[in-house]
């Protein structure tokens, strides 16, 4: 999902909005930066990201990202 919807704009090369998700894709890095992923998932849930003119994740993909971060 990250590759398809997020990294085109939020990569190490582009990092739009000062957000480089590419550097945070290993589990170790995710665990070090949980607030970043909480913010990403919140924006996905609210439909704020990806922008309306870009390809959109399905409802199932959005739910999967949400359940992934909500799991203790």
Query: Per-residue pLDDT for 26 more than 70?
Result: yes
Q: Are 49 and 43 in contact (CB under 8 A)?
A: yes
What is the separation of C-alpha 35 from the centre of its chain, rounded to a whole number of angstroms? 11
| pLDDT at residue 13 tops 60 | yes
d(Cα 25, Cα 10) in Å, to the nearest integer?
Answer: 12
Are the CB atoms for 24 and 33 separated by under 8 Å?
yes
For residue 5, the model assigns a pLDDT of 94
Query: Is 37's pLDDT higher than 80?
Result: yes
pLDDT of residue 72: 56
Q: Give the range of the structural domain holding residue 8, as residue numbers without chain letter.
A: 2-70
- Total domains in the chain come to 1
């Amino acid at each position: 999902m990250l590759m398809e919807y997020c990294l085109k704009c939020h990569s190490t090369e582009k990092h739009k909005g000062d957000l480089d998700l590419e550097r945070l894709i290993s589990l170790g890095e995710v665990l070090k930066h949980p607030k970043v992923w909480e913010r990403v998932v919140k924006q996905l849930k609210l439909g704020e990201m990806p922008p309306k003119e870009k390809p959109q994740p399905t409802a199932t993909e959005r739910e999967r990202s949400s359940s992934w971060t909500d799991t203790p």
